[in-house]
Amino acid sequence: MENEKKLEQFQGKIDANIKIEPKDWMPEKYRQTLIRQISQHAHSEIIGMQPEGNWLTRAPSLRAKKILMAKIQDEAGHGLYLYCAAETLGVKREQFLEWLHEGKAKYSSVFNYPTLTWADMGAVGWLVDGAAIVNQVSLQGTSYGPYARAMVKICMEESFHQRQGFEIMVELAKGTKEQKQMAQDALNRWWWPSIMMFGPHDSESAHSNQSLKWKIKRASNDELRQSYIDKTIEQGHHLGLTFPDPNLKFNETTKHYDYSPIDWDEFWNVVKGNGAGNKLRLKHHIKAHEDGKWVREAAKSYSKKMNLSKKIA
């Protein structure tokens, strides 16, 4: 009975757009949904460093290398902002990493696709970051305070990511025949995975309705996907490249672009761990974590030693 009253007050706050803060009462399911969603988001930022790290040593110029390095550093930062937000829900950082390593926590499936050529750095920045931005801009209005604040900061930093990706595409698209082909090939491979980043259709999405009611999500998967497609098609035409979808056309009635049915078998196959990179990405993360163990231990002993010597003095 008391819970019902609390739930009603909670929904009242949500409806009045009052942010929920860590110490406020919240339904257990709200907390669990946020723990899952924010940590998954954090893991995505961190795992997302890998496909880009793949090209760091082979970037075609010093300028390109500096930019890529700054972008990867940003992704690390974004992962950390999000882990901090997730931790305010009462789960420790170590636990999040353990869940990731045990395969209990997921990250965005898009990072399980390989980055085969330099043009992929362009396509990832333009399309994958572009899709992420559409989602993240919407999440700036999420109802959980720490998550919303992390999103605002991330969105401010992220816009350079998409622009640098597009710049790579522009350069390749107006380069030699081979370079243009390389850009086209990257677009062909990344287009559908980027569309799938928004998740299942609204009719199939398990958590969507409750999340919208609690304003954890501010727009549905399909609304966000459509907004991304509409924006991106025009940018692609500017490049003089074509999208790998024969049914892509502007619908005068809906004022949106129509697109072909999405291959959900592929989506679920990658989610379930059978993508090109799933095993590699996780293995690499675990190795990096284990390789860093001695650093954490040394830093911890050093801090203990310094505290001790202060006490003696």
Of positions 36, 149, 180, 284, contacts another protein by CB under 8 A: 149
Q: Which residue has the tokens 């709200």?
A: 30
Contact 192, 113 (CB under 8 A): no
Q: How many CB atoms lie under 10 A from the CB of residue 293?
A: 9
Least Å from the CB of residue 104 to another protein: 14
User: What 3-state class would DSSP assign to 207?
Assistant: coil
Encoded one letter per residue, x for contact with another protein by CB under 8 A and - for no contact, window 97-126 reads -x----------------------------
Which residues inside 191-250 make contact with another protein, applying CB under 8 A? Answer: none
Of positions 32, 209, 297, 308, contacts another protein by CB under 8 A: 297
Element (H, E) at 157: helix 145-173
Spatial distance between the Cα atoms of 136 and 159, rounded to a whole number of angstroms? 11
Least Å from the CB of residue 29 to another protein: 19
Least Å from the CB of residue 68 to another protein: 15
145-173 vs 221-239: helix crossing angle, rounded to 10: 20
Of positions 100, 150, 169, 229, contacts another protein by CB under 8 A: 150
Q: Which residues of 39-63 are buried (b: 16+ CB within 10 A; e: fewer)?
A: bbbbbbbbbbbbbbeebeeebeeee
In this structure, the chain runs to a length of 313
Query: Is the Cβ of residue 59 or residue 84 nearer to another protein in the bound state?
Result: 84
Encoded one letter per residue, x for contact with another protein by CB under 8 A and - for no contact, window 72-101 reads -xx--x--xx--x--x----xxxx--x---
Of positions 181, 269, 274, 303, contacts another protein by CB under 8 A: 303
Q: How many CB atoms lie under 10 A from the CB of residue 200?
A: 17
Instruction: Give the interface with another protein as residue ranges (CB under 8 A).
Output: 21, 23-25, 73-74, 77, 80-81, 84, 87, 92-95, 98, 149-150, 153, 157, 293, 296-297, 299-300, 302-303, 306
